[in-house]
Amino acid sequence: MPAPPIIVIKKKGGHGGHHGGAWKVAYADFVTAMMALFIVLWLMNSSKQLQVAVGGYFKDPTGTSKKVGTNQSGAGDNFQVTKQNLGQLKEQLLKSIHSINDLEKLRKNIEMTVTAEGLRIELLESKSGTFFTSGSSDVNQTGKEMLGLLAQELGQVPNRISVEGHTDATPYGERANYSNWELSSDRANAARRLMQQSGLRANQVSQVRGFADQRLRNAKDPLDPSNRRISIIVQYITRDADEDEPAESGRDSGEASQEQAGKDKSKSEPKAAGETTKK
């Protein structure tokens, strides 16, 4: 009887079957790491203010515990200028000014100082007129560019702004009924108007004041052109309850103390005449 046939079944080699989605997890981790790298590289070339804004978002995504950010970063106009972080705003303003070649030459005509009431930005006039037409409250092209740049930067902070006008001691003799008091007030108001058109919020300016030649920058030379200036004060937003309000009329603590001392005198001295406040 013949032997039965031997049947050999051969299976063809092929794909080993489904291996699962482990590779997707690894790929997702790689993409996430690359994204984090690009964010770090971007932040390293960003301003200090923007770095604080991004860091604040990761610490508090809801933005309710601490207000940080800028309009440019999409976090809103809530970078609060306090005594602790005032230097950041000063550095940001200087960096913006220096980034514009046409304004770099004005470095000698711009001063920023930290005072008891906030950051004081001084736009100093020259003999021929730097920001205003000489003897007039008309803002020239250079003044428009500078005030517009400051307005764009300061419009991103919630702090209130004061604008002051100052002149030198040279008498204003073109019109009998127009003096340095009117000129200083009109220049401050012109600066306020232009800045609100260029970026400041409608309710951001708290005071517009003209001091004529009563607060000379260079008291030793009352006729020094640098005495003619516009002062923009970024008032503090303080963290203590007793410091919530800015110094009265934008004056520093030294002036307030002098006024209090004057009240203690038996006969108070008259207030300086001519100080003009416009809103």
Cβ–Cβ < 8 Å for 117, 246: yes
Query: Whose CA is closest to 186, among 168, 167, 200?
Result: 167
The token pair at 241 is: 């309850």
Which pLDDT score is estimated for 212?
Answer: 92
What does the pLDDT profile of the chain (279 residues) look like in tens digits?
677 787 777 766 555 555 667 888 888 889 999 998 888 888 787 766 677 677 766 766 655 444 444 444 333 344 566 776 767 777 777 777 766 656 667 778 888 888 888 889 999 988 877 899 888 899 998 899 889 989 988 888 888 999 999 999 888 776 778 899 999 999 999 999 999 999 899 899 999 999 999 999 888 999 998 899 999 999 887 554 334 444 444 444 344 444 444 444 444 444 443 444 333
Residue corresponding to tokens 């919530």: 244
Q: Model-level pTM?
A: 0.55
The whole-angstrom separation of Cα 98 and Cα 106 is 9
Condensed to tens digits (0 to 9), the pLDDT of residues 8-35 reads 777 665 555 556 678 888 888 899 999 9
The token pair at 89 is: 């705003």
Condensed to tens digits (0 to 9), the pLDDT of residues 153-201 reads 888 888 899 999 999 988 877 677 889 999 999 999 999 999 999 989 9
DSSP E strand stretches across the chain: 110-114, 118-124, 161-166, 205-210, 229-235, 276-278
Which pLDDT score is estimated for 166?
Answer: 94
Residue 130 burial by Cβ neighbours in a 10 Å radius (0-12, 13-18, 19+): buried
Buried b (16+ CB within 10 A) or exposed e, 113-122: eebebbbbbb
| Domains parsed from the chain with CATH numbers | 29-78 (no CATH), 80-248+272-278 (3.30.1330.60)
Which pLDDT score is estimated for 26?
Answer: 87
Which pLDDT score is estimated for 138?
Answer: 92
Which pLDDT score is estimated for 13?
Answer: 59
